[in-house]
Amino acid sequence: MTDKFDVAVIGAGPAGYVCAIRAAQLGLKTVCIDKWVDDKGKAKLGGTCLNVGCIPSKALLDTSHKFHEAHRGFKAHGISLDNLDIDVPAMIKRKDKVIKQMNMGISGLFKANGVEAALGTAKVLAGKQIEITAEDGSVSVISAENIVIATGSVPIEIPPTPLDNDIIVDSTGALEFSEVPGRLGVIGAGVIGLELGSVWSRLGSKVTVLEAQESFLALADQQIAKESAKIFKKQKLDIRLSARVVGSEIKGNEVEVRYLDTAGEEKTETYDKLIVCVGRRPYTENLFAADAGINLDERGFVFVDDQCRTDVPGVFAIGDVVRGPMLAHKGSEEGVMVAELIAEKVAQVNYELIPSVIYTHPEVAWAGKTEEEVKASGEEYKVGTFPFAAIGRAVAASESDGMVKVIADKATDRVLGVHAVGPCAAELVQQGVIAMEFSASAEDLQLTMFGHPTFGEALHEAALAVDGHAIHMPNRKR
Ligand code: FAD
Ligand code: AMP
């Protein structure tokens, strides 16, 4: 390996690999260092997102959704199936195949763009040098004009539920069960807990989600959160709020979990498996030499400004290892921005418009401001909502649970937030993101023609409802 680079990126997750590709596209001599390997010691580019996060969880969500549809949904369409069964090892194998295909995809993109891939554990030294320790223990040092730290995050562990990686697992272990657990406990009703709980619930587990907070999906618009909670309840996901887990004990093949309920009383539940999904923390273990000069913030994230610059000139940090929501697309956008800044271009990330999606069925998604945030800011606003129950495409598909909500500024009509729970919610909210990125008004959405019959018509009707003239629903008198 040449030892002098324009850009050295540490971490090949969605933040790091995207940054490396963009930097190479801009003509910068780029290396991307990552330590993730398979059981044969071969590089597995793609980080958490590809190896144990976004993609494998969606692979299992897709399989379990198909199974659940066949089991519960087909009958209404007049389709009958006998002896329906789920082969869990085959499902896991398919998931692993999807990951492998995408790992190879990133390797191919690195080759096509001229990014050098280095396998090993990196440590940032003073003077923009990086020490790389290979799998066999050999050490080399490279230097780079610019260093981009993209080392991501790891699951948080809590003292009441130490992992044994068999009965008590984290999100990674929950992607590898060899059979459907009869009773499954999930700690944390965040995005990851709800998605993984849904996978196994659809396959037949009796799932209980224990959540310490008293409100459900505290960061989402609360009208959408309440609607989502109703839908999940119908799906028999037992979500217990104000339930703080305080202890656990593995007894044979099961685990006894103790939690404090709303009244502060201790309750005990027994599960065959327990998934701990209480959040993630930035990963910076052994990453910096003592004199590297990089500072962390009070929560352990690498401290950066709005343009991802650390306190050391020429050293940037992006993705889960820095402040902001831990989302793949947020890190990728930061990666592109940093590559462009290094190439002396003007670049920024619009942190006001980061879409959030929960890939349950139906999906929950949002972008922009919630009604609670707009209210708190004192801005005067208008709201339009529209239920999927009045959308022909949704009824035809037996997918009529949920709604779309559009919030607009009362004075300027500018769209401030788009929120949805329902079929294709992620894609509909993405249409809202495009509208908001271009500073669209509710009227712009009203005057846009939507194909019929589409799920997107719910977004159109919600925008019309903002001014009280939705067509396929009686409007509230104003
Ligand atoms: P990571 O993806 O964590 O990558 C960091 C990389 O750095 C790793 O490959 C690691 O090996 C490498 N590394 C670390 N330290 C070193 C070192 N010293 N030397 C060399 N290499 C190093 N986000 C979404 O947007 N949508 C989703 O649907 C979604 N679903 C998720 C589901 C699950 C179950 C989980 C766990 C996460 C999910 N996420 C999702 C979050 C998403 O995976 C992360 O936000 C994203 O992976 C962060 O990207 P990153 O590049 O910052 O870090
Ligand atoms: P997120 O950070 O979105 O992944 O969600 C993690 C969730 O886990 C949060 O909603 C926390 O309130 C919840 N949580 C953290 N610790 C506990 C605990 N001991 N018992 C129950 N829920 C917890």
**HEC assignment per residue over 117-137:** EEECEEEEECCCEEEEECCCC
Contact 253/272 with Cβ under 8 angstroms?
yes
CA–CA dist 421, 426 (Å, integer)? 9
Residue closest via CA to ligand 2's atom 2 equals 279
Q: Which domain holds residue 232?
A: 168-278
Which of these three, 228, 258, 278, is where a domain ends?
278
For residues 52 and 134, state if they share a domain.
Answer: yes
CA–CA dist 409, 415 (Å, integer)? 6
Which of these three, 310, 342, 374, is where a domain ends?
342
CA–CA dist 48, 68 (Å, integer)? 27
Distances in Å between the Cα of 114 and the Cα atoms of 9, 42, 107, 192 are 14, 20, 10, 35
CA-14 nearest atom, ligand 1: 51
88-113 and 54-68 helices, crossing angle to 10°: 140
For residues 459 and 435, state if they share a domain.
Answer: yes
Active site residue 71: no
CA of 96 to the centre of ligand 2 (A): 28
Q: Which residues contact 26 (CB under 8 A, 6 or more apart)?
A: 339, 340, 342, 343, 345
For residues 146 and 12, state if they share a domain.
Answer: yes
Site to substitute for ligand 1 among 48, 102, 149, most atoms within 8 A of C-beta = 48
Residue closest via CA to ligand 1's atom 41 equals 327
For residues 265 and 316, state if they share a domain.
Answer: no
CA of 113 to the centre of ligand 1 (A): 22
Confidence at residue 3, expressed as pLDDT on a 0 to 100 scale: 82
CA of 130 to the centre of ligand 2 (A): 36
Confidence at residue 2, expressed as pLDDT on a 0 to 100 scale: 55
For residues 262 and 173, state if they share a domain.
Answer: yes
**In this structure, is residue 92 part of a structural domain?**
yes
Catalytic residue (one of 68, 329, 452, 469): 452
CATH for 249: 3.50.50.60
Sign of CA dihedral 166, 167, 168, 173: positive
Confidence at residue 205, expressed as pLDDT on a 0 to 100 scale: 98
Sign of CA dihedral 468, 470, 471, 476: negative
Report how many domains make up the chain: 3
**In this structure, is residue 309 part of a structural domain?**
yes
For residues 114 and 9, state if they share a domain.
Answer: yes
Residue closest via CA to ligand 1's atom 37 equals 53
Q: Which residues contact 67 (CB under 8 A, 6 or more apart)?
A: 84, 86, 202, 203
**In this structure, is residue 52 part of a structural domain?**
yes
Which of these three, 236, 261, 278, is where a domain ends?
278
Confidence at residue 465, expressed as pLDDT on a 0 to 100 scale: 98
CA of 167 to the centre of ligand 2 (A): 19
CA-218 nearest atom, ligand 2: 10
**In this structure, is residue 179 part of a structural domain?**
yes
CATH for 369: 3.30.390.30
Confidence at residue 33, expressed as pLDDT on a 0 to 100 scale: 98
Contact 246/159 with Cβ under 8 angstroms?
no
Confidence at residue 476, expressed as pLDDT on a 0 to 100 scale: 77
CA of 246 to the centre of ligand 1 (A): 28
For residues 199 and 242, state if they share a domain.
Answer: yes
Site to substitute for ligand 1 among 54, 280, 330, most atoms within 8 A of C-beta = 54
CA–CA dist 140, 318 (Å, integer)? 24
CA-161 nearest atom, ligand 2: 19
For residues 416 and 294, state if they share a domain.
Answer: no
For residues 182 and 46, state if they share a domain.
Answer: no
Residue pLDDT, tens place only, 128-167 = 999 999 999 999 999 999 999 999 999 999 999 999 999 9
CA-11 nearest atom, ligand 1: 7
The 3-class SS string of the chain reads CCCEEEEEEECCCCCHHHHHHHHHHCCCCEEEEECCECCCCCECCCHHHHHCCHHHHHHHHHHHHHHHHHHHHHHHHCCCCCCCCCCHHHHHHHHHHHHHHHHHHHHHHHHHHCCEEEECEEEEECCCEEEEECCCCCEEEEEEEEEEECCCEEECCCCCCCCCCCCEECCCHHHCCCCCCCEEEEECCCHHHHHHHHHHHHCCCEEEEECCCCCCCCCCCHHHHHHHHHHHHHCCCEEECCCEEEEEEEECCEEEEEEECCCCCEEEEEECEEEECCCEEECCCCCECCCCCCCECCCCCECCCCCCECCCCCEEECHHHCCCCCCHHHHHHHHHHHHHHHCCCCCCCCCCCCCEEECCCCEEEEEECCHHHHHHHCCCEEEEEEEHHHCHHHHHCCCCCCEEEEEEECCCCEEEEEEEEECCHHHHHHHHHHHHHCCCEHHHHHCCCCCCCCCCHHHHHHHHHHCCCCCCCCCCCC
Ligand nearest to the CA of 170: 1
Please give all residues whose beta carbon lies within 6 A of any atom in ligand 1, as ranges.
10-16, 33-36, 47-49, 52-54, 57, 121-122, 150-153, 171, 192, 283, 287, 319-321, 326-329, 331, 359
Under-70 pLDDT residues of the chain: 1-2, 478
CA–CA dist 418, 402 (Å, integer)? 14
CA of 284 to the centre of ligand 1 (A): 13
Please give all residues whose beta carbon lies within 6 A of any atom in ligand 2, as ranges.
158, 187-192, 210-213, 244-245, 277-279
CA–CA dist 276, 402 (Å, integer)? 28
For residues 75 and 135, state if they share a domain.
Answer: yes
Residue pLDDT, tens place only, 336-346 = 999 999 999 99
**In this structure, is residue 373 part of a structural domain?**
yes
For residues 312 and 375, state if they share a domain.
Answer: no
For residues 290 and 371, state if they share a domain.
Answer: no
CB count, 10 Å around CB of 377? 10
